[in-house]
Amino acid sequence: MCGIVGYIGKAAAPPILLHGLRRLEYRGYDSAGMAIIDGRQLLVSKAPGKVANLKEKSKCEWPAELFSQPSYGIAHTRWATHGPPTEANAHPHRDQSGEIALVHNGIIENYRSLRARLEAKGHVFLSETDTEVLAHLIGDRYEENLFQAVCDALHQVEGTFGIAVISSREPGLIITARRGSPIVLGIGDGETIIASDAAAILAHTQRVIYLDDNDIAIVKADHVEIRDLNNVPVNRAVAELELDASAAEKGGFAHFMLKEIHEQPESLRNAIRGRLDFALGSSVLSGMGTSPRELAEINRIVLVGCGTSLHSGLIGEYAFEDLADTPAEVQQAAEFRYRNPIIGRSDLVIAISQSGETADTLAAVREANQKGAFVMGLCNVVGSTIARETGRGIYLHAGPEISVASTKAFTCQVAVLLMMALKMGRSRRFSRQEGMDFARQIEAIPSLVAQVIAQNDHIARIAESYAANEHAFFIGRGPMYPVALEGALKLKEISYIHAEGYHAAELKHGPIALLEKGTPVIALANDIPGKDKTLGNIEECKARGARILGLITAGDEEAAAVMDDVIEIPACHPLVATIPSAVALQLFAYHIARIRGCEIDQPRNLAKSVTVE
Ligand code: AGP
């Protein structure tokens, strides 16, 4: 997620801004920049890559005294969403006059129409970003009051923002505002810090003010005035931070994995935002770069990936066959690249990769390209190798995933695959009404996940009863079978328990020989086709003494009666239910690993991106 830092006080801004950006580095980013005003002029320096690059570049570009004389300014670490990580796309962005600079977190959904309007008025843009459009919009509205110009501009914006704005036409103040992307103000002694999260403030003060959505603030060195976007003053309490630097980086959570699990309602909103067309009952995925006619000519879909990304592909397989009547199959990327796959121009190969750098998946992309297939990427990292080499595809917008164990990227992969299947289905037999209904189901996913996360304490209590086991079985049917595989992977990779996922019907073909008294069986018994058969499989396990944790549809008393422990999943479409069910198993695995005292974010033997065969 991008990072924002602003400083106004008695000191020199550049060192403070650079230090603040370093405190936000953990969030993941791919370029950085800062803008300062030294009482006379507005200076901007930007660099792709690390904050260290920005430090070196600004010291070359700016006079040495700027790093010691009083000044104020804003700074940003960018995690690319619109446009690759280049200097031109890095923030801050200026308006047409060059006298206003802005940094922005969030996504402006209507930036294309705003940009067209401004270009018609003669504005010239230097980047591909949505953010630069907002800078120009503010400049276009500016007459003599920066606060009012920002207010007017934000009234035209659809989407989310956390911004900080400065202008050499009005020295001595920073305007900051938020809608859907956090902004916190650090109230120091004769200085004020603006940041997208508290980690950048801790070095200056523990006294903070959190802006609410649609708050806009006039920030000076010794005074902060907060209003709403209708220019009505609002009161926001000063709170005391009780975080140390390490805890602040994790947003107060004990581990990045837990933070990222809790981020999923927001990351799923970002993945879905602007991509559902309820009028047509379809999805809007411009990155697929295909017309309905081209989609209609695809005869088969091959999904390739590794690990968790393979598991989301398995759910995608069910989705494409159920919604689009199109044959679909998943192939482990390493297998695909060596088996001389039989694919061609009427096949769509979807390469799924959070990092966009996994060697086996990249090799599969190259093999598919070689065979003339239609290739797309489903990646989280903008500008990653797989994203570039597939040439088309969909970005997850899940935000940087720091913990090695993939959580929010997985659920966003599934959500995007459901939207891809919806779009393909509407180019085939899926009716408009069916499409509208399914689009509503997708729209509800963030709230379904929030309902499961609200059960965190309940799941933690259940984990206490399973943490001592050294073996565990996860079982499921239909689209819940891949969820069983993913739940087993989560548990094994962070708790080191030997966990295996099986199709529920498969246990009696051998694995049931391993069941002993107390062996945990985690059963996905959601109320979907095949549930009764799964309940029968559970009875077979109980007859051998197994202890059963059941994920059931909320209120399903028949299923609850069979289980030793229960986690309720909100009722929804079977394909959609895979996402909240996976989140429940993420929390289950997390709490077991926590109880066992494991190193959760960086498990032994594992890397976040496997860039070797
Ligand atoms: C998932 O928790 C693991 N970290 C691992 O299986 C991962 O999903 C796999 O290495 C694929 O990574 P990618 O999505 O970045 O390609």
Q: What is the pLDDT of residues 109-132, one digit of tens each?
A: 999 999 999 999 999 999 989 999
> Which residue has the CA at smallest separation from atom 9 of ligand 1?
307
> Which residue has the CA at smallest separation from atom 3 of ligand 1?
405
Q: What is the pLDDT of residues 63-99, one digit of tens each?
A: 999 999 999 999 999 987 777 889 999 999 999 999 9
Going from the Cα of 607 to the center of ligand 1, the distance in angstroms, rounded, reads 9
Domain with CATH 3.40.50.10490 in the chain: 250-442, 444-613
Q: Is the CB of 332 under 6 A from ligand 1?
A: no
Out of 306, 411, 413, 483, give the residue to mutate to test ligand 1, the one with the largest number of ligand atoms within 8 Å of its CB.
Answer: 306
Going from the Cα of 251 to the center of ligand 1, the distance in angstroms, rounded, reads 24
> Which residue has the CA at smallest separation from atom 6 of ligand 1?
307
Look up the CATH superfamily of 250-442: Glucose-6-phosphate isomerase like protein; domain 1 (3.40.50.10490)
Q: Is the CB of 405 under 6 A from ligand 1?
A: yes
Going from the Cα of 245 to the center of ligand 1, the distance in angstroms, rounded, reads 28
- Could you list the active site residues? 2, 608
For 267-302, b where at least 16 C-beta lie within 10 A, e where not — what string?
A: bbbbbbeebbbeeebbbebebbebeeeebeebebbb
The CATH code of domain 3-248 reads 3.60.20.10
> What pLDDT band is residue 377 in, cutting at 50, 70 and 90?
very high
pLDDT of 80: 79
Q: Is the CB of 353 under 6 A from ligand 1?
A: yes
pLDDT of 250: 80
Q: Would the pLDDT of 158 be above 80?
A: yes
Strand order from edge to edge, sheet including 347-353: 328-332, 300-305, 347-353, 374-379, 393-395
Domain with CATH 3.60.20.10 in the chain: 3-248
pLDDT of 30: 86
Q: What is the pLDDT of residues 563-597, one digit of tens each?
A: 999 999 999 999 999 999 999 999 999 999 999 99
Angle, to 10 degrees, between the axis of helix 574-595 and the axis of helix 480-495?
20
Going from the Cα of 600 to the center of ligand 1, the distance in angstroms, rounded, reads 15
Q: What is the mean pLDDT of residues 322-332?
A: 96
Q: Is the CB of 435 under 6 A from ligand 1?
A: no
Q: What is the mean pLDDT of residues 498-508?
A: 95
What's the rounded Cα separation, in Å, for the pair 229 and 148?
9
Report the largest interatomic distance among the alpha carbons of the chain, rounded to a whole angstrom: 81
How long, in residues, is the chain? 613
Q: Would the pLDDT of 244 be above 80?
A: no
Q: Would the pLDDT of 246 be above 70?
A: no
**Whole-model pTM above 0.95?**
no
Among the atoms of ligand 1, which is closest to the Cα of residue 355?
15
Q: Is the CB of 361 under 6 A from ligand 1?
A: yes
> What pLDDT band is residue 245 in, cutting at 50, 70 and 90?
low
Q: Rounded to the nearest 5°, which phi and psi values hold at 232?
A: -95, 125
Q: Would the pLDDT of 486 be above 70?
A: yes
> Which residue has the CA at smallest separation from atom 16 of ligand 1?
353
Highest-scoring range by mean pLDDT, 332-346, 375-389, 404-418: 404-418
**Percentage with pLDDT > 70 across the chain:** 98
Going from the Cα of 502 to the center of ligand 1, the distance in angstroms, rounded, reads 20
The CATH code of domain 444-613 reads 3.40.50.10490
Among the atoms of ligand 1, which is closest to the Cα of residue 610?
10
Among the atoms of ligand 1, which is closest to the Cα of residue 358?
16
CA-to-CA separations, 386 to 305, 332, 586, in angstroms, rounded? 11, 16, 26
Q: What is the pLDDT of residues 160-180, one digit of tens each?
A: 899 999 999 999 999 999 998
Q: Is the CB of 312 under 6 A from ligand 1?
A: no
